Every structure is written in C-alpha cells, then in structure tokens.
Structure 1
C-alpha cells in the first residue's frame, strides 16, 4: 500500500514539475539549505467540477482505496466551490485537499462550455490509475477559455490544465534550516520568486494554528484549439503548522486562508 501511495505522489510530482519549473527550483533551493535532506510534502491539492463522473468523491475514491480518510469539509461561497481534505493514518503521508466547482451556480453559457468539456471524458476515466495526472480530456478554444475566465479563474484553470496536482506544499515544520514561514518567504523573494500577496503574504498564523504562503503560478504556453496562449499553470505552497492545546500539531485547513491561496493561479490580479 505504501509503495502505491509513494508511486502515485511521485507520478503526480513529475507531471506537476513538467508545467511548474519554478517548483523544482524552489525544491532544490530548500534542499540545498537543508544539506540535501528531503523536503517533506504537507499536502497536495486537486481541482474538479461537481459533475457526477468526475466530481470530488470520484477523485477521492483513489485515495480512500489507499487508506485515506475524510477529515474536513469547506465551503467557498464567493468562488462557488466546495472542498474536502483527507488524511492517511500514517501521518508521514501527504494530506490531500480536493475542491470542486459548483457548476450549476454559473450562467447557462458557462455551464454549456463545462458540460461540453466533461462530455469528452470517458465514463470510466476517473477509475483509471493515472486519472489524477491525466491532464485535459478535451479541446477548448481560447474564446471559450476567456468566457470561463470572466466567470471563474478556477474554471479557466481547469479548462487549460484538467486533472493534475494544482499544487504541492512544503512542510515548513520539517525544514532544518528555516524554522518559520516568514524566513522561507524572505529567502524565496531574495532568489527572485514571486509570492501571492492576496490577503497578505502570509495567510493565517498561530491564532488559527496554520500559516500559509505560496508562489504565483508559472506562465506556460498552452495549445488551445485555435491558438497558443500563455496561461498560469501551478504554484508551490508553504505551510507552517502550530501545536494545539493538547500538544499535537494542527492537521486541518483554514477556509479563509485557502480562499486566498486559490488566487495563486489568477490571471487577473
């Protein structure tokens, strides 16, 4: 089971860095400071639509089959999203955060574009071993992409990138050289990385038992059905967790902070 989990995350990582070259550079930088010690991954996040054959529960099924358990539910009313997070009994395994777009809350035009995209996906696709890093299953025009972008940055990201890790997350608690998130951020900026400043450079803090920051997504060229276009791909997140009164490390997520982290893939700031 463990090797299956490790293989899945290794495949997800390879797919992720193929369109997020900055993440590999950040990873190398942190390993260098830590004397080549392995950078520990706090969680990986995925995006989808709340359409039956590929909804959040379908994505979660692959993790549940590997021993993961649902631990929290979150609502993002403004962004029209719902999310859940999952944990493995072995706390050294990364947590998993899966969100889905509430398609029915959008205009008929937006719904039609999304429905058409999803219609291209094989009914059994979500059950395939490689589904979580299978990318897009459709061709979409840059015009439809722009229509989605006007309505939802999240929907536009899904249209361009499909199914893959939206971000990996460095566990600051496991770093040797850096003890606090602010120091990680300072080093990243010094090295020329651009951070997400929506809601402040650091979202959350000791008062909510979790502090988070992230890079802004890389700009990567995507081939749409009619033209090529540079669009935001994925980003790298950094999480520092604080101890609870019982002495254990907080393992959940903070909706208000996650809301701002989503904006790391925004086209329009």
Structure 2
C-alpha cells in the first residue's frame, strides 16, 4: 500500500516542479546529497459537491490516510482538514476548500460554470490529484476572481495540483532550526514570504513554518499565454507535545499567512 502512495506522490511532485523549478534547486540545497522528508503536501479546491474537500480526500483515504484535524479561515472564506498516513515517512496532506457561497454573485457564476464543465468520471480516479486544470477560463475571469480571492483565482488557473510541498526540518541532517534554513534559502537567492514575519508560529504552538514566494509560470487562458504565480515551497519545524510526541497538526493563524505565498505582486 505504501508503495502505491509513494508512486502517487512522485507523480504529484513531478507535476509540481514543472511549474515550480525553484523547488528542485531548494530541495538540492537543503538535501546536500541526502534524503529530504516531506512534512506535508497541500491542495486547494472549491466546496462544490463535485470537487469538494471530501471528494479529493476520498482518494487518500482509500490509500490508508485518516482525517486528523479541521481548520477555519474566516477572512479567506476557507475550511480545511488534514490527513495522516500510518506510515510516518509519507507526507501529511492538507486540503482546503473555498466557501463559494460567500463570494459575490459574479464570482460564483464563474466558479459554478467551470465546475459544471468537469466530467464526473475524472473525479473518480486518484489521478485527479495531479490532473491540473480540466476546464477553460479566460484571463478576464481570472482577474475578476483575483479581486475577491487570490485563492479562487489561483485555483481557477491551475486546477488540481499540489499548491506546495513542505520540507520537514526535523529530518534534515545539516540544519537544526528554521532560522538556519531560512538563511540558507535567502543566501541561495530565493525570496521568502515575509507576511507576518518570515517565521510563522513558534515553539509555544509546537510548529514553526516559513515558505518561499511562488514561482511564476505561463498559463494558457482563452486569450493566450499569461505569466502568473504558480506554486511555492514550505519549511516546517515541529515540536513535542507535553506527552513527548511530536505535534502533527497545523496552526490556522500561521497557515493563513502561508496562503499569501501565491499572491501576485508581493
């Protein structure tokens, strides 16, 4: 079973680095020839029944994942859950969904149309986790969504793919803390997300996170090719709970700032 999941994540990673070439360079920088363990992989979707969080999570659950936590992001109009596998070497998966009904009627029309265009059968296969965009959208529609929700715009342009992978700092051989990782990233010429500070969270919440700003890549819209933010790379340092076990959940206040890594123009 774990082998099947590892093969799935290899395909998800390969699709991710196609539009996030910096991730391969950062990965090599931190690995220094050794293995890098992924703490978690994140997905974005809409809360419409055909494509919602539970629809995507179903494929993970069939591969042995279990739901382990839920999170609310009121300002961004999002709801999320995270999933873990019994094999701790496999990444956790964080899936968020946009509460479409909280957007303007104009935005809802666009989102409902693109979801209506999706063939139900495509959602029944785990390949959907690296299917990319399976609908048409115009750049004008993308821009309209971006005015209301960067999340909605990103998802409308990129579709189903890993929004980011996350390096587990706990498992790195050459780095002991997130500050060292961040410095190495900056020294390597990469830009960090500094919304709310470079480091989100601290030891008191048992999780520290940082991330690069998203790469930019060409996307085909109805009007032609346009360069927009793609995906980013995150870094996580986890701390033990009172019982000595490493905390495996997420901190909503920190994740809220991590979402900003795909903002355009930041």
Coarse TM-score class (shorter-chain normalised): over 0.9
Post-superposition shift, 1:84?
A: 0.1
Q: Secondary structure at the match of 2:183?
A: helix
Task: State yes or no: 1:211 paired with 2:208.
Answer: yes
Task: State yes or no: 1:117 paired with 2:114.
Answer: yes
What residue in structure 2 maps to residue 170 of structure 1? 167
Cα separation, 2, equivalents of 1:197 and 1:187:
15
Report the count of equivalent residues.
266
Deviations 1:62-91 (A, max 9, x none): 010011110000000000000000011121
Task: State yes or no: 1:191 paired with 2:199.
Answer: no
Cα separation, 2, equivalents of 1:67 and 1:138:
30
Cα separation, 1, equivalents of 2:88 and 2:131:
27
Cα separation, 2, equivalents of 1:105 and 1:119:
19
Cα separation, 2, equivalents of 1:260 and 1:31:
26
Task: State yes or no: 1:19 paired with 2:19.
Answer: yes
> Paired residue for 1:247, among 239, 244, 247?
244
The TM-score, its normalising length taken from structure 1, stands at 0.98
Q: Secondary structure at the match of 2:89?
A: coil
Deviations 1:168-191 (A, max 9, x none): 000000001000000000011011
Cα separation, 2, equivalents of 1:37 and 1:215:
21
Post-superposition shift, 1:125?
A: 1.6
Q: Secondary structure at the match of 1:196?
A: coil
The answer (yes or no) to whether the contact 2:2–2:87 under 8 Å persists in 1 is no
What residue in structure 1 maps to residue 28 of structure 2? 28
Deviations 1:195-244 (A, max 9, x none): 00011100001010000000000011111101221100000000000011
Q: Secondary structure at the match of 2:50?
A: helix
Post-superposition shift, 1:92?
A: 1.6
Cα separation, 2, equivalents of 1:39 and 1:66:
22
Instruction: Please give the root-mean-square deviation of Cα atoms over the aligned residues, in Å.
Output: 0.7
Cα separation, 2, equivalents of 1:31 and 1:183:
14
Post-superposition shift, 1:42?
A: 0.2
Deviations 1:157-176 (A, max 9, x none): 00110000000000000001
The TM-score, its normalising length taken from structure 2, stands at 0.99
Moved over 3 A (4+): none
Cα separation, 1, equivalents of 2:115 and 2:186:
39
Structure 2 unmatched ranges of 5 or more = none
Q: Secondary structure at the match of 1:52?
A: coil
> Paired residue for 1:57, among 54, 74, 89?
54
Q: Secondary structure at the match of 2:217?
A: strand
Post-superposition shift, 1:129?
A: 2.8
The answer (yes or no) to whether the contact 2:216–2:230 under 8 Å persists in 1 is yes
Structure 1 unmatched ranges of 5 or more = none
Cα separation, 2, equivalents of 1:128 and 1:70:
20
